[in-house]
Amino acid sequence: MNILTVSTTPFADQKPGTSGLRKSVPTFQQPHYLENFVQSAFDTFDQCAGQTLVLGGDGRYYNREAIQIILKMAAANGFARVKVGQRGILSTPATSCIIRKYRTLGGIILSASHNPGGPTGDFGIKINTSNGGPAPEKVTEAVYARSKVIDRYLILEAPDLDIDALGETRLGSTVIEVIDSVADYEELMASLFDFERIRTLLTSGNFRMCMDSMHAVTGPYAHALFEGRLGAPPNTVIAGTPLPDFGGGHPDPNLVYAHDLVEILWGADAPDFGAASDGDGDRNMLLGRHFFVTPSDSLAVLAANAKLVPGYSGGLSGIARSMPTSQAPDRVAAKLGIDCYETPTGWKFFGNLLDAGKATLCGEESFGTGSNHIREKDGLWAVLFWLNILAVRGESVEQIVRSHWRSFGRNYYSRHDYEGVESDRAETIIANLRLLVPTLKGKRYGSYEVEYGDDFSYHDPVDGSVASKQGIRIGFTDGSRIIFRLSGTGTHGATVRLYVESFEPDPARHDLDTQQALAPLIAIADEVAHLRAVTGMAQPTVIT
C-alpha cells in the first residue's frame, strides 16, 4: 500500500469554534476540506508515530465516509493503532473515557453535537487531547494556523475497511481495532453508580422511565445500560437507533426540540422519569412527571445529593459552573463549604479545574453536566446520577427538586434565544452593551438596583490564563442577573442569548410561572439592549 502525498491549498475558514470545526455537510464534502483539517491537526501533534488514536462519531450523515478517510490518513501519518467505534459510533463521553483508560494520544470525534444532520445538515470534527478533554485553545489555534498554510497531506492508498465487525485488522503498518462502542463506558458507569439499587428501582414495577435518544448516538448505550444491564422493560428507550439525519429531528434535548418526550411526560399515563440526550451524547435534559428540571437546578441537586452515590460518597472538592448558569449551585457549595468556580461558556474551561482536583462536578445551563470521571460533559452519566438519587431517596423528581428549593431557595431561570440574527446587528447589541454596562452601577429599574455590570473575564486559577469578553453581566443587589452573549456554536447567522435569573428564598413563592416570575427582568433586558428593536424580532425564537 502506497502512502500518497497529496498537494493541497488552504481553506480560509477552518477556525474551530466553541466545540471543534462545525460546518455544513457540503462544505466538508469539498475536495480536500476534511483532509486539510485532519492533517493540520496531525501536524500540530508532537508526534503521531507509534501513538494510539481514538476515532468515532455520532452516526450523522458523512460519518462513515469521514472515518474511512481519517483511518487512511492516520495510517499514512504513522499511528501505531487506531481504536475506532463499531459502525463508526462513539459518543463524546465514551471517547473521553477510552482516551483516558488506554492513555492514548487523543481522539477525533465526528459530530456537530446538537445541530441537525443529513445531506444539507451540519457535520463537525472535534479534537480531544490525552487528558480526554476538548483540545485547549492553544491547540485549536495551532491547528487553525497550520490550516492556513497547509500545502500537502498524507493518505494511504487502500480499499475501505470493514468497521462493522469487531476485531483488529491492519492498514499498512497501523493496527485498526474496531471496538465495542459501549463496553468501556458501561464499565466506568458501573464503577460510579449503585447499579444494584438502580436495578431494583427499575424492576420494582412501581417506577417507569423513558429515555429519548433522539435517533442519535446514545441509542446503543441506553439500550445496553437501561434495558440490558439495569433491567428496565424493552420499550424504555425511544428513538434508540442512530440515523444519519436523526430521523429529520433536531437532536437537542430541550423543551422545544425533545417534544416527543415532553408529550409523554406531560401525558395522562406519564412515566416517573424522562431523559433525553443530544447528537453526540454529552447533553441531557431531565424531566419528572409533568415537571422540568432546569440544568442549573440539576447541577445543584446532584451536588447536594452526591454523598448518596458511591462514586462521590467521599465528598466533592468543588463545583464549577459556566457564567450564564444560574447561581443555584453556588448556594450548595457554600453550604458544603467548598469552592464554586464561575467559568466562561464552553466545557473546555473546566478541564484545568478537573485536572487540578479543584472541582468534582461541573455544569452548564446549556444542558451539560459532568464530573471528574472524564473530561467531557456526559448525558447518560447525569441520567444515571439522577436514577441513583431517586433509587436511594424513594421520592419523585418533583419532590426532590421542591425540597431542594425549600432548603436552598429557588433560582428562577430562563434563556431567551434570538436565532438567525444578522451578524452585524448581533455585534451591535453586544458592542452597545459593552459601552453601557460600566455606567450602570447604582442605577435603578423599578425595584431593581444594579450592583455591577461588566464584560466577563475569567482568570484561570490553574494556569493563570485570561479569557476576556465572555459575555455581558448585569447583576442586581438582590442577586438577580441579566446576561447577554453571542452563541459560539451556530453555523447560520448569529444567535443572541439572553439569560435571566432571580432568587426567591420564600417557599410560599416557589410556585410561580417562570416567565411571569422573570417578566420584570426580561423587560429591563429589552430596555437596556433594545433586543427586539435591533433584531427586528417581536420575540425570541426559543425560550428554555
Give me the active site residues, please.
113
- Candidate list 39, 96, 213, 366; residue touching ligand G6P; CB under 6 A: 366
Which CB atom, from 307 or from 425, has the smaller least distance to ligand G6P?
425
Task: Please report whether residue 19 would count as binding ligand G6P according to CB under 6 A.
Answer: yes
The answer to whether 202 touches 228, Cβ cutoff 8 Å, is no
Q: Contacts with ligand G6P in 395-424 (CB under 6 A)?
A: none
Choose from ligand G6P, Zn ion, none: what does 280 bind? Cβ within 5-8 Å by kind: Zn ion
Kindly state the smallest distance separating residue 117's Cβ from ligand G6P, in Å: 16
Query: Which residue, 116, 308, 337, is CA-closest to 215?
Result: 116
Choose from ligand G6P, Zn ion, none: what does 345 bind? Cβ within 5-8 Å by kind: ligand G6P
The answer to whether 84 touches 55, Cβ cutoff 8 Å, is yes
Q: Please name the residue ranges forming H helices in 104-238.
A: 137-147, 183-192, 195-202, 218-222
Q: Cβ of 310: how many Cβ atoms within 10 Å?
A: 14
Task: Please report whether residue 381 would count as binding ligand G6P according to CB under 6 A.
Answer: no
Which CB atom, from 104 or from 322, has the smaller least distance to ligand G6P?
322
Kindly state the smallest distance separating residue 349's Cβ from Zn ion, in Å: 16
Q: Mark the segment that binds Zn ion (CB under 5 A) among 112-120, 124-132, 203-211, 336-344.
A: 112-120
CA atoms within 13 A on the CB side of 252: 15
Choose from Zn ion, ligand G6P, none: what does 489 bind? Cβ within 5-8 Å by kind: ligand G6P
- Candidate list 40, 236, 326, 345; residue touching ligand G6P; CB under 6 A: 345
Q: Contacts with ligand G6P in 102-131 (CB under 6 A)?
A: 113
Tell me the C-alpha distance between 532 and 544, whole Å. Answer: 18
Task: Please report whether residue 378 would count as binding Zn ion according to CB under 5 A.
Answer: no
Task: Please report whether residue 252 would count as binding Zn ion according to CB under 5 A.
Answer: no
Cell numbers that stand for 525 in this block: 433586558
DSSP β-bridge partners for residue 175: 81, 170
- Candidate list 58, 282, 365, 501; residue touching Zn ion; CB under 5 A: 282
Task: Please report whether residue 347 would count as binding ligand G6P according to CB under 6 A.
Answer: yes
Which CB atom, from 35 or from 282, has the smaller least distance to Zn ion?
282
Choose from ligand G6P, Zn ion, none: what does 347 bind? Cβ within 5-8 Å by kind: ligand G6P
Q: Which residues contact 62 (CB under 8 A, 6 or more apart)?
A: 25, 28, 29, 110, 123
- Nearest 5°: the CA angle 86, 143, 426 is 100
Task: Please report whether residue 253 would count as binding ligand G6P according to CB under 6 A.
Answer: no
What are the contacts of 198-204 at 24+ separation with CB within 8 A?
198/230, 198/384, 198/387, 198/388, 198/391, 199/229, 199/230, 199/231, 200/391, 201/387, 201/390, 201/391, 202/226, 202/230, 202/231, 202/232, 202/236, 202/387, 203/231, 203/232
Tell me the C-alpha distance between 283 and 278, whole Å. Answer: 5
Q: Which helix (H) or strand (E) holds 294?
A: none
Q: Mark the segment that binds ligand G6P (CB under 6 A) among 329-337, 360-368, 404-412, 455-463.
A: 360-368
- Candidate list 212, 252, 280, 378; residue touching Zn ion; CB under 5 A: 280
Which CB atom, from 72 or from 481, has the smaller least distance to ligand G6P?
481
Tell me the C-alpha distance between 455 and 471, whole Å. Answer: 5
Tell me the C-alpha distance between 515 and 530, whole Å. Answer: 19
Task: Please report whether residue 298 would count as binding ligand G6P according to CB under 6 A.
Answer: no
- Candidate list 35, 278, 376, 504; residue touching Zn ion; CB under 5 A: 278
Tell me the C-alpha distance between 328 and 160, whole Å. Answer: 51
Task: Please report whether residue 364 would count as binding Zn ion according to CB under 5 A.
Answer: no
Residue nearest to Zn ion (CB): 113
End-to-end CA distance of the chain: 53
Which residues would be at the binding site for Zn ion (CB under 5 A)?
113, 278, 280, 282-283
Which residues would be at the binding site for ligand G6P (CB under 6 A)?
18-19, 113, 322, 345-347, 364, 366, 368, 487-489, 497
